[in-house]
Amino acid sequence: DHHFHYGYWIFAGAALKELDPTWERMPELNKIITTLIRDTANSYIDNDAGFPLFRHFDWYSGHSSSHGLIPFFDGKDQESTGEAMNFLYSLMLWGQASGESDLEILGRLMMKVEKRSLGMYLLMEDSNMVHPEIVPNKVVGLFLENKVSYTTWFGDEREYIHGIQMIPISPILEFLRTETFVREEYEAIIQNLDIISDPDNHRGDPWQSLLFADSAVISKEVSMFQLSQSTMDDGLSQAWALYFAATRP
């Protein structure tokens, strides 16, 4: 799960570098973030013996995987599409903030490749022909090399299966999750979940905040009202959730 986790740190580092490039500890931050990038998206073919090339990314398959060298019966898996894209977005941002054009271009390329593959295999619009029998679910859940499962590693509730694809709520989410997909998923699945159809009786469930934030592209006014009443996911502030909803197209 290195790319899932490190994306948050690299994003924060890129923001700090952009806002305060002369920070006295910037050399230390540069070293830390560079090490995280080498561990997950190392592209130095000839001069880096410390890390493998693109540990988490399969260029043939076109998407990330959350298992590295650990053997697993059903092969490597992809689960949190949002966190996978957040890592690549953060890679691009760090390249921008650092003036490393090659790294910025690499991040942009990997985002485009990943988006195409995720749209084929994990986030499925009604027109998808790769998994026609799974399209009604809209998402796969766990996508492994040997099987797919409509579940998560931590539970079978549908808000988990769909909500984990939405984290973190960030600007790149609308690049990954098209308005067509969000609308189809909402109408087929999300609007029928108890925490959405009966929101007042589920205000303590933080998954509610993710689902309403994501659906802002359909109705920002409804989403903003509901987000003002909801318990926030522990990786989401109410201020950012409301801003995100208010700025949807």
The catalytic position among 77, 83, 114, 205 is 83
Mutual angle of helices 2-19 and 26-41, in 10-degree steps: 150
**Which residue in 174, 165, 176 sits closest to 217, CA to CA?**
174
183-186-188 Cα angle (round to 5):
105
Our answer to whether residue 1 is catalytic in this structure is: yes
Among this protein's residues, is 133 annotated catalytic? no
- Among 1, 48, 74, 156, the active-site one is 1
* Cα-trace Rg, the chain: 18
CA angle at residue 85 from 138 to 11, to 5 degrees? 145
Residue in the block written with tokens 């709520």: 169
**C-alpha distances out from residue 150 to 26, 102, 165, 232, Å:** 43, 37, 12, 25
Q: Where are the alpha helices (DSSP H) in 99-165?
A: 101-121, 158-163
The answer to whether 138 and 185 are in contact (CB under 8 A) is yes
Q: Would you state the structure tokens that stand for residue 142, as one six-digit string?
A: 């766990």
In the annotation, is 179 catalytic? no
Task: Tell me the β-bridge partners of 78.
Answer: 143
Q: Identify the active-site residue in 77, 79, 114, 185.
A: 79
Tokens of 5: 């986790």
Are the C-beta atoms of residues 172 and 111 closer than 8 Å to each other?
yes
What are the residue numbers of the active site? 1, 79, 83
